[in-house]
Amino acid sequence: MLIRSVLCLLMLCSVSFLPAADWPAVEKLPEQPEYPPVLKMFAGSTINSVEEWEQQRRPELKELIQYYMYGYFPAAPEEIDFELKPEFSLFEGKARGFEVVITYAIKQGGKKLPPLNLLVILPRNSEKPVPLFLGMNFCGNHTLLPNKEITLTKSWVYDSCGGQDHHAIEGSRGSQFNDWGIDTIIERGYGFAAFHSADIDPDENDFTNGIHPYFYKKGQTSPGPHEWGTIAAWAWGAQRAVDYLVTNPNVNKNQIALIGHSRLGKTALLAAAFDERIALSIPHQAGCGGTAPNRGTVGESVEIINRAFPHWFNNTFPKFSQDVNRIPFDQHSLVALMAPRPVLLSNAVEDTWADPEGQFLMLKEARPAFDLYGGDNLLDEEQPKLGKLSAGRLGYYIREGNHSMTRGDWQVFLNYADTHF
C-alpha cells in the first residue's frame, strides 16, 4: 500500500539551510568560562516568561546551535511517500510487524532521495492508539529480530556488526536482540519503530555518499561551514520517521519517544529538541557532543571528538577545539530546548568517557527553562544514587556497568515513559 503525504508547512521540525542572522566569527566571540545562562539572550537581556522564551530565546538558541555546532537542517521534503509492506506476526501472536519504505523528494530538481526503511511493531489487540518508542540502530533493522520478513539492509554497516566489508550478511540477523528488548516493550503496552542510521548517512568522514550530495548546489562537493554534519542528518532522518508515525491511527501521535545510544543518543536529543512532535527523548550515554558539557574536563573533549569524528558536526565547530569557552552555549542549552517535554539522561558508572556527573550538571543548568512552565517533579537536587531512577521531566539514571544498552535499561526507559505518558 502506497500513502502519499504533502509536507509544505512542518514548522515545528524544519528550518532552512540559510542562517537567519550573521553571528560573530569564532575568534570574535567573548570568553565565557561559566555555562552561558539559558535565559540570557546573546545580546545580554534576560528572559522572564514562557512567551519570551518561545518567541525569542528558543529560536535564538536553535540558530546558535546550528550555526556553530551541528549545522543547519534543510527543510522537510515537499512530498513524502510511505510504502507499507505485508504484516507478519511476532511474539506468539502478541504483536504484528511491518516495514514502511519512506521515500521523499526535495526542491532541487525534484530529486528523489534514498529510501528510509522503517520497521514498525505494534501490540496486536490494543483497544486504543499506543505510545511508541522510535529508535535508531547501528547495524540494520534485521539485527533487532531474527525474522526473515525484515529486509536485510543494503546500507553501509560497521564491521563490528558482523558484516563483511561494510555489507550486512544473513548471519547477523537478530544479533542485537538483547540490546533492544522489543518483547518487553510490547508486553508493557508500547509500540516500537526503528531505522538504520546509515539509511541516511554512513558513519564515515565522506560527504560524497549518504544524503548530503542530494542537497548540494551545482559544483558543491562537501557541506559549507554552517551546513549540516552527519549527526544533524541522522536527526533529520528521525524526523522523517516521525512523519509516518503521526499518520498511523494505531500510534498515539502525542506519545512518541525517541531513543538512541552513544552517537545516536546525541542524535536523539538533537532531533527531539528541534521537533516538538517528539514528546519525550532518551539520549542514552550520549556524552560529548550530546549531553555532556563542552566545557567539561572529564572524558571525551571537544578537541578529541572533532579530531576522531570530524564529520559529525559542521565545519565551524572544530574552531572551538582549543577554546571551548568561546562557545556561546553549552549542551544544557540543547536540553533546555526540550522544555517542557521530558528528557531522560541515562548513564553507566564505568562510562567515564561520557562524563555522567557532567551530564547531571547539564540538567541543573537547563532547569530555568523548564521552571518557566511551572509544575512539580522537575529534577532532584542531588545526583541520584546508583540504580535509582530520577523520573522528573529532567530525568536522570546511572547504573553499574559500561557503555552499552541492555534489557535492564529498557525497564528503566519504560518506567520513565510510564511516568509521563
**Among 166, 321, 403, 404, the one annotated catalytic:** 403
List the alpha helices (DSSP H) in 225-382.
230-245, 263-273, 302-308, 331-336, 356-371
- Closest alpha carbon to 209 in 221, 225, 218, 224: 221
- Closest alpha carbon to 179 in 231, 137, 134: 137
Q: How far is CA 127 from CA 15, 74, 183, 339, in A?
A: 37, 38, 19, 31
What DSSP designation does 167 have? B
- Clarify whether 262 is annotated catalytic: yes
* Alpha carbon distance 406, 53 (integer Å): 37
DSSP string, 400-415: SS-S---HHHHHHHHH
SS3 of residue 60 by DSSP:
helix
* Alpha carbon distance 78, 336 (integer Å): 29
DSSP string, 355-384: -HHHHHHHHHHHHHHHHTT--S----SSPP
* Alpha carbon distance 71, 315 (integer Å): 8
**Among 155, 172, 262, 333, the one annotated catalytic:** 262
Q: How far is CA 198 from CA 155, 264, 282, in A?
A: 6, 11, 20
Q: Which are the catalytic amino acids?
A: 262, 403
